Amino acid sequence: MSLNTSGARNPIGSDRPRGANRNAYPNEAKFMTQGQEHLKKAQAHVAKFEAEREPERLREAYMALENVSLVEERDPPTRDQLRMDCLSS
């Protein structure tokens, strides 16, 4: 356990004070959301289509993009970036 700025113990064990803004620590790893994973799969299918010219790859890319749900993205900048990436795919 570590102490936060008020001297109270932080049960999580981090050096971050309780209630601290996560964005205040830019070096923390960001995890890929499900929407980003679906987008990455769609982009892979598009790349395969460009190489193979197999229509099935476009159908797979379409289905992967259908699985992207912007409503589930909680972080507005991430949601905006995901939306722009989906529109450009």
Q: Is residue 52 part of a domain?
A: yes
Domain span at 56: 31-69
Q: Which pLDDT does position 89 carry in this prediction?
A: 79
Q: Which pLDDT does position 32 carry in this prediction?
A: 79
Give the side-chain half-sphere CA count within 13 A for 81.
Answer: 8
Q: Is residue 80 part of a domain?
A: no
Q: Which pLDDT does position 8 carry in this prediction?
A: 55
Q: Is residue 51 part of a domain?
A: yes
Q: Which pLDDT does position 28 carry in this prediction?
A: 46
- What is the domain count for the chain? 1
The pLDDT profile of the chain, 89 residues, written as one tens digit per residue, is: 444 555 555 555 555 555 555 555 454 445 778 999 999 999 999 999 999 999 999 999 999 999 999 999 989 999 999 999 999 97
Q: Is residue 10 part of a domain?
A: no
Q: Is residue 60 part of a domain?
A: yes
78: how many CB neighbours lie within 10 A of its CB? 15
